[in-house]
Structure 1
Amino acid sequence: MKKYFIPTIILGAILFPAFTSAESTTTSPVIVTTSTIPTSAQIFTACQQASIENRDTSISSARNTYNTAMATALTARKDAEKSAVALTDEVAKKTAINNASMSYKLAVKTAQDILTKARKETLVNFEKDTTGCRQYKKDIKKVEVEKKIVEKKEINNEKKNEIKALQAEEKVAVEAKKVEIKTLRESFKEKMNALRSFFSRKSDN
């Protein structure tokens, strides 16, 4: 019988990390119904679950990075303004406060831009992942269909071979029966000839 081999999916290989600079986080386990041979539906489900895991992990990491950047910006502004208000020169004080405000706004914009970019990249990669999952499901489904076709052909061939074997056995049985009938006829004929000869000799006497 022709054998089909469904390769083991390394789901991580088809995923695209969206925020490489983010801190690593612990991922939750993928939940899949176990069976001896995974079906196309199970493989598709596992692939989707991995895509969702990757998407939300990336967004979470990006958000954590954003929060850290914001906290740093706030601390920097706080310290800068505290130092500024301690100045006795009004012009220098005003300039220091403005610089602290400008630095804060720049830090906020930079952090927001990084977060927005990470979100966009994550969603693009998520779409790629789910598209890959759908395509892989089609490929697995095609293999399953082809396997069923081959198995059906093999079953049909086995049935044909069984029919041929039965026909051959019947033919042998018929031929044997013919030989048996022929043998019986010849035996009967010999006995009849023997009887004729016996009665013929008795008549002559």
Structure 2
Amino acid sequence: MGGRCCCGTGTFQKPDGKRTARFTVQHTEVPLVLDADALNLIAEDAEILSGCRAEKILTPHVGELARLLHMTIAECQRDPAGSAGRAAEKYQACCVRKDSVTVTAEEGREQYYINTSGSSALATAGSGDVLAGITGAFAAKRQCEKNEKKISLAKTAALAAYAHGKAGEAAEEKSSASYVTASEIIRGLQSI
């Protein structure tokens, strides 16, 4: 199985977080999924990504995306595809813009993937961590494919977002609450 690295899901909150992030980014050669704390550090200091040899997938929600682009949340909401595309270009990465409609963009491509699976039940603690994990798993699987069968990084990330949304829908059907937990989303993967 191919490797992958997910960074930012509680990883960089310690005082040496910036140093750890820089080391991880510079020494990782497998696909790198950057979420939460990693995105906040990158928004403060984009130089953290200098020397990165790995393919990068950024998974920001709208607030994180606004910080990455030094824009307002309202500006990012007005242009979902454009803001995802700008982040992909700026950070030479694939960007999965998380919101009620998820937009996936990749550097150097004018094609966007729009995902409407999922529901407001996914707006729960840990849901983004689950998406980062699914994305990392899909990216690792992609690494194992022969070049002629390998799909684009953006398509890989978009499929992960779709699976996450469908797992959330499956979890919501089984739940009596108006939200689902991260564990329920993971169990929902069995239904898709």
TM-score, normalised to structure 1's length? 0.22
The structure with the largest alpha-carbon Rg is: 1
TM-score, normalised to structure 2's length? 0.23
Q: Per residue, is there more strand in 1 or in 2?
A: 2
The higher relative CO (CA closer than 8 Å, separation ≥ 6) is in: 1
Q: Per residue, is there more helix in 1 or in 2?
A: 1
